Amino acid sequence: MRALTTVPLSANTLAVSELPDPTPGEGELLVDGIAVGVCGTDREIARGDYGWAPPGEERLVLGHESLGRVREAPSGSGFAAGDLVVGVVRRPDPEPCGACAHGEFDMCRNGKYTEHGIKEIHGFCSEQWTCEAEYAVKLDPRLEQVGMLLEPTTVVTKAWEQVERIGARAWFEPKSVLVTGAGPIGLLAALLGMQRGLDVHVLDMVTEGPKPQLVKDLGATYHHDDILTVTDKVRPDIVIEATGVGPVIFGALANTASYGIVVLTGVSSGGRELPVDTGALNRSIVLENDAVVGSVNANLRHYADGAAALAKADPDWLRRLVTRRVPLADFAEAFEAQKDDVKVAITLS
């Protein structure tokens, strides 16, 4: 079978490799790959900035935003041939730490977890793959075109869970949410905000391309002003931050409504300094009982919540998030950023 592979930490080593067909182990599904989504992490790995091959191997199969169809399933696994499935990205560390021992491997404390397509386990960008049944998630059959959006959706179902758990420390009836960044994470965060009946606002820089209309078609409000203008107008109870851009983050932190909750999901590159009035920022966070939390990755319950959220969403709106579909042979195109990209997918069948 063919798979998209790379030598981690070596730039320009992406290639379609011929690998032996995988054989499912005990309790594992054999899956025909349909597509994988490509994200910033994949581009970092492709540039040679990040990633780990499995121990003793030179190359890593890429792809963590999976979608496939079950070819063979062990009896009693809850899966059958033909089911649409997604493989969970992370596996608990072998030790395991306390969080991993409790199934919360997204909160791993020792960093020794492994991740398909990123850290020490092969990814899903191959014509066939295997997956332990307990780490496979069944999707509604109507998600055949868009199921590769589940993994980014799990990142936002976890972020929303953080909001709800932190909010529950006192009386909490939020009305408005500001999502910063209208990439796939931001748009999916906005979708989940609409599903919760909130007044949803999305801030991004662009004025053209598909993003403003995707926001409007959700019933949310699109903004492209600077962060302070938008926070003055909206006074958000909740901010889901998906840009990783310093001035946006600090603008959001300082200008929530009282009891504001900010969830940071964007990863910034370091090395940029920004003048910040730390005294005023501290004052606003303390005097308003504000909370700020970082959130990354997702565990099994976030996958289940994500699959349910996608099944409820308008399938045409979800389809419009996948703005380009590139066959495996043309993989290089999927790694070139193009104007008007939202989510780019590599198709495997």
Residues near Zn ion (CB under 5 A) are 93, 97, 100, 108
Residue whose pair of structure tokens reads 């499912």 in the numeric block = 24
Closest to Zn ion by CB, 93 or 151: 93
The closest alpha carbon to 29, from 79, 94, 66, 76, belongs to 79
Smallest gap from Cβ 119 to Zn ion, in A, equals: 13
The token pair that represents 41 in the structure block? 């992490």
Smallest gap from Cβ 20 to Zn ion, in A, equals: 31
Residue at 113: amino acid letter: Y
Closest to Zn ion by CB, 121 or 125: 121
Closest to Zn ion by CB, 42 or 93: 93
Closest to Zn ion by CB, 83 or 93: 93
Smallest gap from Cβ 114 to Zn ion, in A, equals: 10
Smallest gap from Cβ 112 to Zn ion, in A, equals: 6
Buried b (16+ CB within 10 A) or exposed e, 35-68: bbbbbebbbebbbbebbbbeeeeebbbbbbbbbb
Count CB-CB contacts under 10 A for residue 307.
21
Buried b (16+ CB within 10 A) or exposed e, 333-343: ebbeeeeebbb
Closest to Zn ion by CB, 73 or 100: 100
Closest to Zn ion by CB, 119 or 343: 119
Residue whose pair of structure tokens reads 């998906």 in the numeric block = 242
Buried b (16+ CB within 10 A) or exposed e, 160-172: bbbbeebbeeeee
Distance CA 133, CA 184 (A): 27
The token pair that represents 92 in the structure block? 């608990």
Pair 91, 121: CB distance under 8 Å: yes
Smallest gap from Cβ 244 to Zn ion, in A, equals: 24
Closest to Zn ion by CB, 132 or 144: 132
Give the relative orientation of helices 227-234 and 246-254 as an angle to the nearest 10 degrees. 30
Smallest gap from Cβ 28 to Zn ion, in A, equals: 22
Distance CA 19, CA 3 (A): 7
Smallest gap from Cβ 106 to Zn ion, in A, equals: 10
Q: 195 — phi, psi (to 5°)?
A: -65, -25
Pair 245, 268: CB distance under 8 Å: yes
Closest to Zn ion by CB, 65 or 93: 93
Smallest gap from Cβ 105 to Zn ion, in A, equals: 6
Smallest gap from Cβ 116 to Zn ion, in A, equals: 16
Closest to Zn ion by CB, 98 or 219: 98
